[in-house]
Amino acid sequence: MCTTGEIIILSDDDDCEDVPPNELSVFIVEVEDVKKSECAVPPTALDEDLVITFSRSAEVLPHARYDCPIHPFTATDCEVSVPVPNNHLMCDQCFCYICDKLASSCKWWCYSGLCHCNSHKKSDFWNNHRNCALLGGLKTFNLTLSEVDSHLRNAETMLQSFRQELSTLYGVFLKGRVLEECGPIQTRKNCRIFDYTPVYEHVSSFLNKADQQDSRAAAIMMLGATEDFIRHFQVSGTFLLQSPSADAVKARLLLLQR
């Protein structure tokens, strides 16, 4: 309840100098009791009943297998022989940490000797394995995943395609070809010519493509190509062609001087 009491008001003598003493006034003011209910704040909307009309479970976002909120995961350092109990289980949003794709599409998930289902980011072994898998040929250039962009990915793809064709052309070069003008068939087996020109032209074409790429991508392509053709050697044949590009040693120098 609110406070109840009396208030006595006396007139100030300084303000009543001209009033006789017997006429000074005293006022008594009584304060009425006020019940607490009369001081209460009116009910608000928060006092109304709350009715839940709809609810649903939280949506599970894509995540690495070791972070799955549904299936428990047991971390090991480098277990690749067999899946650790329960690690092979997955939900629809589980990703393979090594392949960086849905676990359901990873062909090495439970493969003995690899067992990607056991992979996680707190192991140096699995982190190195992931870097090798995702970097591919770029691993030899000491790049990290954070440094790799679409230009470098494209450079790696072009480099791998170049290497396959280069291997085929160099294999043909090493076999040589028979010259028809050597005479009878029985003597032609010793009449071989080894022409490096097709290999040289393939490398030159690839280096021209590299010149048109982003600076980092161009460097990757040129270094990768050089690493391959620098090992090529010339095979001695019956006939020697005069063109510098026909000789592997001379052609290498021409390519390095570009």
- Domain residue spans of the chain: 63-141, 149-256
pLDDT (0 to 100) of residue 9 = 54
Long-range pairs of 161-165 with CB within 8 A, sequence gap ≥ 24? 162/202, 162/206, 162/221, 162/224, 162/225, 163/224, 163/228, 165/202
Question: Would you mind telling me the total number of residues written for the chain in this entry?
Answer: 258
Compute the distance between CA of residue 45 and CA of residue 228 in angstroms, rounded to an integer: 78
Q: Which residues of the chain have pLDDT under 70?
A: 1-49, 180-190, 238
pLDDT (0 to 100) of residue 242 = 85
What digits encode the pLDDT tens for the residues 52-90? 777 777 788 999 999 999 999 999 999 999 999 999 999
pLDDT (0 to 100) of residue 13 = 55
pLDDT (0 to 100) of residue 157 = 94
pLDDT (0 to 100) of residue 54 = 73
Compute the distance between CA of residue 203 and CA of residue 209 in angstroms, rounded to an integer: 10
Contact call for residues 252 and 230 (beta carbons, < 8 A): yes
pLDDT (0 to 100) of residue 186 = 46
